[in-house]
Chain A
């Protein structure tokens, strides 16, 4: 047991004190390209949860397989086919439900299964103990001794020895010992709590949230700069953005326009609440870069929303490029020109 608790503590420490887990979660990395320590964290937590019950789960499963070979195969079959189905539903239905999320859901399902299985185990254990009793020490193994030690329950057949003289409307109480696995678990959580408070507030060895945030921002900044320096990405802004003319980009821009801009500038750009985008008159400049800037930063005092937090630079580039194609299209019901003629 000593080895075991030492091990547990190490895992626990690794889990809780890895600030990195969070930092990575928030980086500019595409989440999927990096499995992330968050995932590891959740698994560790689950591991803790099933640590005490998993052995007995496996034991019972093995027994079940031995007893009901056919049924077990069937179960296995159902499990694998349903997994395959999840695969087929795939990207379109739940775009986000890819590997990363699948593992998270799987982890939860495992937890639920483990706990429900535990219900069966309790029953089986009780039966086993009863049988063991009836048959003497014959079927005892190191494993069953361990389980017995961890649960420390008196067999149902012996329960009259520990029946207390309490009687409340017919309800009686047994005097079973506290289950050792439960008690040790309680001790571990108490140690955890003390170490946790010490780590963050006595020895100040852990980062509190603002320090964590500052590190995260710094990390993201460095990451971006490194990527820009190596030429992996081009950081598009109003200084280096270029007009796109290829059909695919214009088409993307048109779609975004319809869903986001048409509410104010009308479906064909003829203007509604916002100005007409099809004439040659512009309130804030008519160059491609001007249009890009207005989309990006907005003109809040006049009602134009800044889109920089909602759209990527490429998306704004697409929209601006599409808007440039509207010049001189003369749609019906145009709004009167506003601003200055741009040539």
Chain B
């Protein structure tokens, strides 16, 4: 067989790697800013763009899709070419992929701070950006499969199985969760409402963790750990079993984000059961990673790159053991909505994703630049400062989670809530929030050191953009080895590999989502529940714009401590007109589902103008711009129309008179407010719409 000569494309690897570091610094900086805002709200300088509600999605999107995303692409483009002994299929596609992805990130950063958001966690971007993501993702898949097809290696290594599963599953998740009806270029409504939207969102949200932060990074682990340690993979059979088990089981686990909510019980229980079954498949990856270092443990002591990787894999093991525990209903009752969850998440992101990526970059960049790292000492400092950062981040948040949850649930001997004033349970956490911000700052310092170190390394080196390689072409006919493992068959067949991956991830998806959509008794109808008025709908969109969902849930769970505090627990039928659902996932402030009618209009007015006026010590920022901006009614009719299309029973009268109705209701609220001698507000301000929405929340079942 003739030996073919070709070149690996290292330029695209370099581009993605440097972009990842750049966005990593930005994303983590935003993280530190919002961490400080949680105990020092004035850090937003009274600017709408910089409030917690708008920066929080910016932080999550930046670190997940820009930092980790670019790193995944760098690692995939590096390893894929070498594992398949082939150059990337098309340089043009590589370029489009790179620049497309960066443009998407820039678009995300701009729109999110402007409050242009769908409010669905990790899927906040509006529909034009969603479409761009879909296209660029297809470009990535096309480029990857093109490379696989023209490979010079018969069998695909386990890393590539993970890449394929990642590609197909993220595509399915992204498209299904982002199906939305546009109202105009920058506004759309999810086509699902209430319980159904919640289920689809957390099926997506959970699997964004599974198939964006886990499977591709496992793939990278399978390439870079054995390369860096120069050791064989511990067990080929373990790779097979844990790969297929992981992708099959992971997809079912989403409902564990919705335990004790209005989601049907059967779906909640499936979430719990499958989460428990996830322990072993997840740990399979950890074992295979760690035991690959068998016999190289002496190296780990000296080699800081391996240290990064070992801590990463260990954090992966911890997070994937803790996750299933959190999915048990009695643990979840304690942990949900508290800081325990961010603590859990950050063990995964700072530890597993961050440290794995740092290890990979420190290994890879000197290789493609044909030089040595500028300073190994700085890498060591980065390792220790980063580890300290993780500890300082996570421990106080665990502590805060337990503290707050137990305070929420504590009753006095007289049978009343011991901490009836929600604020008490928040101010209690301030020392923990301060410590957490210090942890974040340490971790950020680490990546800045890395950026400096890499910059110096790059300056001293010289990029080997076209790395020469050679390999024999594949024989047209393959002769099976005698006694080969049965699984070798599918490793030669990329298309079958892709199809089986899709089949496996669709089983859980279909079984959970279809009945929730189709079976009527999953969401019992409540006669009294009526669509929002035009003004309330506009107010709801302001609630979405300001990211209130970042800190406030709208889901009273059936616990005594919650029904005493907030009122009747939330019912599935109450959310049928909520496109999208706004249940939230964190209570930095109190739940708002039953806030309607609880306070007078003037309370909300004063509270939004200066939360401390009504709740001294509050950590909520003021929203002065809502008192200056006039409410835009340009799209009000369009919104009603869109809702009609989605099946909300607005009459044609309501559609035609939408703006008049809105104005009439605004007048009413403004008049009520102006009775207060200290308030003087005109009826066309945004605050009026927000108050209208808040006063409507959860009131339908009272009538």
Contacts and interface: CB of A to CB of B under 8 A. Distances in A.
Nearest to B239: A173
A300 interface: yes
Contacts of B417: 309-310, 312
Contacts of B303: none
A104 B402 contact: yes
Contacts of A308: 416
B670 interface: no
Given A105-B399, A305-B598, A168 B241 contact: no
A98 B382 CA distance: 35
A93 B227 contact: no
A30 B410 CA distance: 7
A212 B260 CA distance: 11
B678 A220 contact: no
A192 B325 CA distance: 13
Contacts of A122: 290-291, 293-294, 297
Interface stretch (A58-66, A68-76, A181-189, A245-253): A181-189
B274 interface: yes
Contacts of A30: 410-413
B235 interface: yes
Interface stretch (B451-459, B544-552, B556-564): B556-564
Interface in B197-252: 223, 226-227, 232-239, 241, 245
B280 A156 contact: no
A28 interface: yes
Interface in B118-166: 153, 155, 157
Interface residues of B, number: 101
Contacts of B466: none
B227 A170 contact: yes
A115 B597 contact: no
B236 A233 contact: no
Interface in B379-424: 398-399, 402-403, 406-407, 409-418, 420-422
Interface string A299-337: 011111111111111100000000000000000000000
Given A22-B333, A301-B600, A185 B280 contact: yes
Contacts of A108: 398
A192 B560 CA distance: 29
B318 A112 contact: yes
B83 interface: yes
A45 interface: yes
A319 to B, nearest CB: 13
B273 A16 contact: no
B236 A175 contact: yes
Contacts of A193: 273-274, 276-277
Nearest to B559: A26
Contacts of A42: 331
Contact of B157 (A171, A178, A212): A171
Contacts of B265: 200-201, 208-209
Contacts of A306: 598
B513 interface: no
B565 interface: yes
B276 A196 contact: yes
Contacts of A310: 417, 420-422
B283 interface: yes
Contact of B481 (A165, A200, A223): A165
A259 B616 contact: yes
B674 interface: no
Nearest to A93: B431
B333 A175 contact: no
A212 B560 CA distance: 10
A305 B614 CA distance: 11
Contact of B334 (A38, A189, A300, A304): A38
Nearest to B291: A122
Contacts of B325: 45
Contact of A303 (B277, B420, B560, B600): B600
A241 interface: no
B560 A216 contact: yes
A236 B414 contact: yes
B76 to A, nearest CB: 14
A27 B564 CA distance: 12
B272 interface: yes
A232 interface: yes
B314 interface: yes
Nearest to B324: A189
Contacts of A16: 328
A84 to B, nearest CB: 18
Given A122-B290, A122-B293, A309-B420, 15 more contacts: A22-B330, A101-B399, A126-B295, A153-B291, A159-B295, A169-B83, A171-B226, A192-B273, A192-B277, A213-B558, A216-B559, A223-B415, A224-B414, A312-B418, A312-B420
9 shortest interchain CB distances as A-B pairs: A186-B280, A303-B600, A213-B558, A193-B273, A310-B420, A176-B235, A123-B297, A172-B232, A156-B295
Interface of B: 79, 82-83, 85, 153, 155, 157, 223, 226-227, 232-239, 241, 245, 260, 265-266, 268-270, 272-274, 276-277, 279-281, 283-284, 287, 290-291, 293-295, 297, 310, 314, 317-318, 321-322, 325, 328-331, 333-334, 398-399, 402-403, 406-407, 409-418, 420-422, 428, 431, 481, 558-561, 563-566, 569, 597-600, 602-603, 606, 613-614, 616-617, 676-678
21 contacts: A26-B409, A96-B428, A111-B322, A115-B314, A115-B321, A122-B293, A159-B295, A166-B155, A168-B157, A173-B235, A178-B241, A182-B287, A185-B280, A193-B276, A208-B265, A209-B265, A209-B329, A224-B415, A303-B600, A310-B420, A314-B414
